[in-house]
Amino acid sequence: MNNLSSLCCRSSQGLGAVARPVRYASTSTPTPTSSPKSSRSNSRRWLSIVFVGATAAGAGAYIRSQNTSSATLNPETFTKYNLVSREPVSATSSLFTLRPRNPSDSNYDVYEEAWQTGVWSVMFKQPQLQIGRDYTPLPTTAATSLSVDDENEGCLRFFIRKDPFGEVSRYLHNIDVGADVEMRGPKIECAIPKETENILFIAGGTGIAPALQAAYSLLNRKHTKHRQKIHILWANRLKDDCAGGHSDSLKPQPRRGWFSGWFGSSKSLDTTSENAVDGVRTEDSSIIVRELEALKSQYPGQVTVDYYLDEENTFIRKEDIRGAIATASTNDSRKSKSKLILVSGPEGFISYMAGPKLWAQGQELQGPLKGVIKELDLKDWGVWKL
């Protein structure tokens, strides 16, 4: 998903220091899924998206050497934000709210342009180690919206998983509320074309944050003749990660051996599972589930969410993707760039779904389409690995 800026920066995630493994691969070269016959025209279709990513990549490479502070969020220098609150979402993740240390009217315009473009991120700095990691601002929805004051003051919210051995996520979970952190951005990870009408978003874990962004960006578009739709397939390890969520279209699926996971065969066992997270319907919903529910209420009939749980041995199967594609395809979406699959999550998840991203000449690229999506041979759908 990333623009190449974060690719070049996989190695440059250290702000002049150590390169480390990252949870997300980052890139931004879209991959058409069509047959060889149509691949040339599809390549052209997605050229504009590639261009946006490549441009951002160039910018990213340059800004890495900059380090001074500014009042308005910008991709070139780090801006100080204050940690206003950190609310636990699950045992391993929290919702962070940050306010610019020196509120500036310009922040609103910076955010607004990014929201209108598509999926975007910012880089947080870990000052002791001088390394940075990318995180995805959450859109404001009816469920857990920021107060008007907070919005006016340019607050941003993030859903961040704490990796017990991770440098930056641990740092962010350990600093005191009230402390300052520095970030720079926005970095456009995926410019959603104006023509896009249908998005199938396949998310693993915190990959749901860009899904919320994509939904917000797509559904907020004005002056469109069509009713845009987004279908989110969200896989998590534990019920706790998506407490209270219930699937809209997921049919009971055969349970699979724990070993098969995202990577194994699809041999089924003889018991069937209920809807992946039906068991937690009556529990308190997680903040992220409430965000998704709020989007559904705000845009009736335009948002579909299905949940999958490793813990319940329910995994995103080819049938699920095919089903989501079939629903979207019944709409009038003949125009180019009208249908887009976005895949976001841990590297292994992205690789399994769409093939790994690649490194070439110091840049992380989308790499050829492989994995489950390639096998499905979904014509007319653009694919973007976040």
Ligand X SMILES: Cc1cc2nc3c(=O)[nH]c(=O)nc-3n(C[C@H](O)[C@H](O)[C@H](O)COP(=O)(O)OP(=O)(O)OC[C@H]3O[C@@H](n4cnc5c(N)ncnc54)[C@H](O)[C@@H]3O)c2cc1C
Q: Which stretch binds ligand X (CB under 6 A): 33-41, 68-76, 104-112, 167-175?
A: 167-175
E strand or H helix at 120, and its extent?
A: strand 118-126
Residue 79 Cβ, how far from ligand X at the closest point, in Å?
18
Check whether 135 is labelled as a binding-site residue: yes
How many whole angstroms separate alpha carbon 324 and alpha carbon 102? 45
Q: Which stretch binds ligand X (CB under 6 A): 161-169, 235-243, 262-270, 276-284?
A: 161-169
Give the footprint of ligand X on residues 89-128 (CB under 6 A).
Answer: 121
CB of 292 to ligand X, least distance (A): 15
To ligand X, the closest distance from the beta carbon of 241 in angstroms equals 12
Residue closer to ligand X by CB (options 250, 288) is 288
Closest CA to 185 of 234, 127, 122: 122
Question: How far apart, in whole angstroms, are the C-alpha atoms of residue 105 and residue 102?
Answer: 10
Residue 191 CB, nearest distance to ligand X (Å)? 14
Give 160's strand partners: 94
Q: How far is CA 383 from CA 29, 31, 128, 258, in A?
A: 9, 5, 38, 28
Query: Looking at beta carbons, which residue is closest to ligand X?
Result: 166
CB of 354 to ligand X, least distance (A): 15
Q: Which of 169, 247, 314, 338 binds ligand X (CB under 6 A)?
A: 169
Question: Could you tell me which of 106, 103, 99 has the C-alpha nearest to residue 81?
Answer: 99
Query: Is residue 189 close enough to count as binding ligand X by CB under 6 A?
Result: yes
CB-nearer residue toward ligand X: 92 or 198: 92
Residue 26 binds to ligand X (criterion: CB under 6 A)? yes
**Minimum distance from residue 183 beta carbon to ligand X (Å):** 12
- Reference 63, options 77, 79, 53; nearest CA is 77
By CB under 6 A, tell whether 166 contacts ligand X: yes
| Residue number with CB closer to ligand X (61 or 71) | 61
Among 209, 276, 277, 378, binds ligand X (CB under 6 A): 209
Q: Which is nearer to ligand X, 206 or 286 (CB)?
A: 206
Tell whether residue 343 is a contact of ligand X (CB under 6 A): no
3-state secondary structure (DSSP) of residue 110 = helix
Of the candidates 302, 299, 295, the residue with the CA atom closest to the CA atom of residue 331? 302
Element (H, E) at 210: helix 208-219
Computed from CA positions of residues 315, 239, 258, 357, in that sequence, does the dihedral angle turn out positive or negative? positive
Residue 385 near residue 27 (C-beta atoms within 8 A): yes
Residues 6+ apart with CB under 8 A from 11: 19, 362
Contacts to ligand X by CB under 6 A: 1-2, 6, 20-24, 26, 121, 133-136, 158-161, 163, 165-170, 189, 206, 209
List residues forming the annotated binding site for FAD.
133, 135, 168-169
